[in-house]
Structure 1
């Protein structure tokens, strides 16, 4: 639940520069309702934020079928995610390592088939975020 909300928020705020071409996310098969995380196995908010940030950085790379996107630097995107890798949960590092390698191999543009592969690679990260970080926020005491 957290991941779609973050993606929608970034899309609505006009994340990125220049004219971006739209892309279609490929549905990833999986359970419709993720199993809850085992008690005591929930990460802290900083870990959830770091994982969601790295996941979002990889999922929002520009898609181009016409050639290189002038604002897209795959090396810089891969480097930023790689800097977060030491703080990632150990069970997610292989998915991020593979995604970073795929992004570096993509060259100056990411084609639809490469984006679909990136989505499949990051499916365990999406599932992890939903199971461990997708709970509802605790109520806050706000003055009326």
Structure 2
């Protein structure tokens, strides 16, 4: 939490973030606590926790990807309870065999989720580690704004 808090604090001392300076975009509705980046060129008020891994096999009949899907189905209801405004996106690249699950929450919900160690992250990742053919299991915190 200290690392993310420090990063968010650093962001908040700079200018706007993830908000293009075009007049049409100035109509967007950001929370009053939006964090600014890039000298005001962008801002963000949503933060994403990404869980990712590599799978083996062809995307159309990969046993490891099928097993990942079952883990997602098992944890999806719990993941969506992280925030009333959580969005969950699944990304699969059949070319490089990437699987990503991205959960994005409003900035004000991110800190409390981080304090809970992004639950159910540890359990979800532990299940991925048990799947044959799944490698390079990683996490990342990033901003994720719809523009």
**Same fold (TM > 0.5):** no
Of structures 1 and 2, the one scoring higher in RCO (CA 8 A, sep 6+) is 1
Say which structure is richer in strand: 2
**Largest Rg, 1 or 2:** 2
| TM-score computed with the length of structure 1 as normaliser | 0.30
